[in-house]
Amino acid sequence: MTKWTTARIPDQTGRVAIVTGANTGLGLETAKALAAKGAHVVLAVRNLDKGKAAVDWIARSAPTADLELQQLDLGSLASVRAAADDLKGKFDRIDLLVNNAGVMWPPRQTTADGFELQFGTNHLGHFALTGLLLDRMLTVPGSRVVTVSSQGHRILAAIHFDDLQWERRYNRVAAYGQSKLANLLFTYELQRRLTGHQTTALAAHPGASNTELARHLPGALERLVTPLAQDAALGALPTLRAATDPGALGGQYFGPDGIGETRGYPKVVASSAQSHDADLQRRLWAVSEELTGVTFPVGEALQQA
């Protein structure tokens, strides 16, 4: 069977794609591939100087790329709301939202709103952004929300509703696992709520990829993992397939096809049984709405209709 590569991305001309964390690593490669196929790509980044460098880098390899920058700090709900307002002012339609940005295993820090950094950035920031932009997607045929999770959703992963912000005792690996499990719970619940609409929700994971995300790895672990990791261009393929493959279906999860899903070419993979717990999905959704103050234009009433 032919391996799925960027050569199989259909023409993206006329599509508006927003990619968070697009200034480096997986997000940069995702933005580059989409732009090379004709999409108007918005690089939603926290650091505009790094974003400008990313635009220049993409333009060197794809001179006709249609790119723009949007300032977005997922660790600040005020920034998320401002970015959503800017984007909705510019675009009547959004075809693709790639929730890619993330942090992994940092020392305990909090966002501007007091959330533990990994949960606040990886999940709550993207939850809020998606909810604020979704009305620009619902009437667009083939529109998709793609959220990047991780094999970390299996490692020490649980949703600690009694201490979501890790104020009692912080374990950075478990906190990352919580945030990546939350990405999947969010995707599956969103897809259920999108039933009957033209938008679908999918997820992807990059396997072991050599990106800046690993900058907080302990030295010994970094030396062990780095030789096994694939480059960011390969790591971005599951996201790109989820975003563009005409045969991809809402609720699917893409990852590498190699041993242990650590590297390789994208295929549909399975996530943990916990990630498919519908009660857990609904409970996290309700808590996320409460913490962010963002409600979605699709709800349980529409879901059940």
pLDDT of 285-294, one tens digit each? 999 999 999 9
Summarize pLDDT for 151-189 with one digit per residue, the tens: 998 899 999 999 999 999 999 999 999 999 999 999 999
CATH superfamily placement of domain 6-292: NAD(P)-binding Rossmann-like Domain (3.40.50.720)
Summarize pLDDT for 263-283 with one digit per residue, the tens: 899 999 999 999 999 999 999
| pLDDT score, position 43 | 98
Active site residue 176: yes
| pLDDT score, position 208 | 77
Summarize the confidence of residues 237-262 as an average pLDDT: 95
Element (H, E) at 288: helix 278-292
Q: Is the dihedral of CA 275, 281, 285, 287 positive or negative?
A: negative
Q: pTM above 0.75?
A: yes
- Of the listed ranges 22-31, 84-93, 187-196, 220-229, the least confidently predicted one is 220-229
The Cβ-side half-sphere exposure at 251, using a 13 Å CA radius, reads: 10
Summarize the confidence of residues 217-238 as an average pLDDT: 69
**pLDDT at position 217 over 60:** no
The arrangement of strands across the sheet holding 253-256 comes to 66-71, 40-45, 16-20, 96-99, 144-148, 200-204, 253-256, 266-268
Torsion angle, alpha carbons of 42, 207, 247, 102, to 10: -30
**pLDDT at position 213 over 60:** no
223: confidence class by pLDDT, cuts 50, 70, 90? very low
Summarize pLDDT for 88-139 with one digit per residue, the tens: 999 999 999 999 999 999 999 999 999 999 999 999 999 999 999 999 999 9
Please give the backbone phi and psi of residue 17, each rounded to the nearest 5 degrees, phi first: -120, 130
Contact 229, 213 (CB under 8 A): no
Instruction: Name the token pair of 298.
Output: 């699709």
Helix residue ranges, H only, 134-268: 172-193, 219-225, 232-235, 237-244
Higher-pLDDT residue of 211, 92: 92
What are the sequence ranges of the domains in the chain?
6-292
Please report, for residues 84, 163, 238, the alpha-carbon distance to residue 119 in angstroms, rounded to integers and kept in the order given.
Answer: 20, 11, 22
- Cα distance between residue 112 and residue 123, in whole Å: 15
302: confidence class by pLDDT, cuts 50, 70, 90? very low
Q: Look up residue 239 and give its amino acid.
A: T
Summarize the confidence of residues 79-89 as an average pLDDT: 98
Instruction: Name the token pair of 91.
Output: 């675009």
Instruction: Name the token pair of 192.
Output: 């259920």
- Of the listed ranges 26-40, 132-146, 219-233, the least confidently predicted one is 219-233
What is the 8-class DSSP label of residue 115?
A: -
Please give the backbone phi and psi of residue 142, each rounded to the nearest 5 degrees, phi first: 80, 5
Q: Which residues pair with 255 in a beta bridge?
A: 267
Q: Which of 176, 188, 253, 265 is catalytic?
A: 176
Contact 61, 88 (CB under 8 A): no
Token look-up 């667009």 returns 140
Summarize pLDDT for 40-70 with one digit per residue, the tens: 999 999 999 999 999 999 999 999 999 999 9
227: confidence class by pLDDT, cuts 50, 70, 90? low
